[in-house]
Structure 1
Amino acid sequence: MKKLAMYATVVMFMAGCSNKVTISKIDEPFDSFYDQFHSDIDFQLSRVQFPLGGELVSIDGGEPWTKEDWEPHLQKVTDISDPEYDTEIIRKDEEVIDKVWLRDSGFSIERRFEKIKGKWYLVYYQTVNL
């Protein structure tokens, strides 16, 4: 009987010590991502989803964005204060679009950020300079 009680105690102890893996889904806040995206170049490159939708459009045609030719984005749309530029930010649960344009000039920028598996990524970048 003592052996049976000891065996039961050992089995219960081992069952309580099993490795438990819990995965929690933590959604990254967009504002924190946006600040880091514009201040940390390595982070920015890790969060641009190449091949990137959109292109650089000029009178000579269009050119796609590549990782090799990427120029860091250091200016947040929210920080543009020049009154000649108009800005717009459209926020949805899984997508944020920011736009900048110079009135009556043929110049505009549009970027789209999407939340993918809880993290934000730049998935589209269009610059028009005609």
Structure 2
Amino acid sequence: MKIATILPVLAFAFISVNCNKVKEETKSNSEIAIKSDSIAKPIKKELPENFDEFNKKFHSDSLFQVSRVDFPIEGKHVSGFEQYNWTRKNWQFQVIPVAEKTEIEEYQHSLVKTDTLITEKFWIPDSGFEVERQFKLIDNKWFLIYYNDINL
């Protein structure tokens, strides 16, 4: 009688221990799978576009330039009595890159840079001539968002 009662108890204990062991192994395997997935698929964090590289391409490739002007763009073109807002149709290709210093001595020049906005101005004091442009980092890519070209 003792063996008849001990045998089911031992069988129950053996089954319980093995079931717990299988659960732990399954949990460990799923944790390994999760860890290996995160290693295999690192999170891609896109770095901001380098402004100097953008600046070179923007002022040398007309198609790229138009793709990076955030139309409708703020600012306007004013030359004498002619005045209009910038559109894709009337856009004039810009060839002079943003620079720390200008080599044209008759112009005043200022350049203000942050991580997300670059503002450059050229002007001749008391002449009615002023050019201002602003580039902004949008979704990690640089865009021209403002261009004012005044020549009275």
> Do the structures match in fold with TM over 0.5?
yes
Give % identity.
35
Distance 1:103 1:23, change over 3 A: same
Q: Which has the higher helix share?
A: 2
Correspondence for 1:50: 71
Q: How many residues align?
A: 127
Q: Is 1:68 aligned to 2:89, yes or no?
A: yes
TM-score by length of 2: 0.69
Q: RMSD of the TM alignment (CA)?
A: 2.6
CA distance in 1 between partners of 2:73 and 2:46 (Å): 26
> Normalising to structure 1: TM-score of the pair?
0.79
* 1:121 match: 143
How far, CA to CA, are the matches of 1:81 and 1:45 in structure 2? 26
Of 109, 120, 130, 1:87 maps to 109
Higher Cα Rg, which structure: 2
Work out whether 1:112 is the aligned partner of 2:137: no
Unaligned runs of 5+ in 2: 1-17
Q: Is the 8 A contact 1:95 1:115 kept in 2?
A: yes
What's the offset of the Cα at 1:128? Answer: 0.8
Query: Does 1:24 pair with 2:48?
Result: no
User: Are the aligned partners of 2:55 and 2:98 in contact in 1 as well (CA < 8 Å)?
Assistant: no
Any gaps of 5 or more consecutive residues in structure 1? none
Q: Which has the higher contact order (CA 8 A, sep 6+)?
A: 1
Shift of residue 42, structure 1, vs aligned partner: 1.4
Deviations 1:29-82 (A, max 9, x none): 222211111111111111100000000123426310110111110112427412
Decide whether the 8 Å contact of 1:36 with 1:43 is kept in 2.
Answer: yes
Q: Distance in 2 between matches of 1:113 and 1:11?
A: 48
Determine helix, strand or coil for the equivalent of 1:42.
Answer: helix
Shift of residue 102, structure 1, vs aligned partner: 2.2
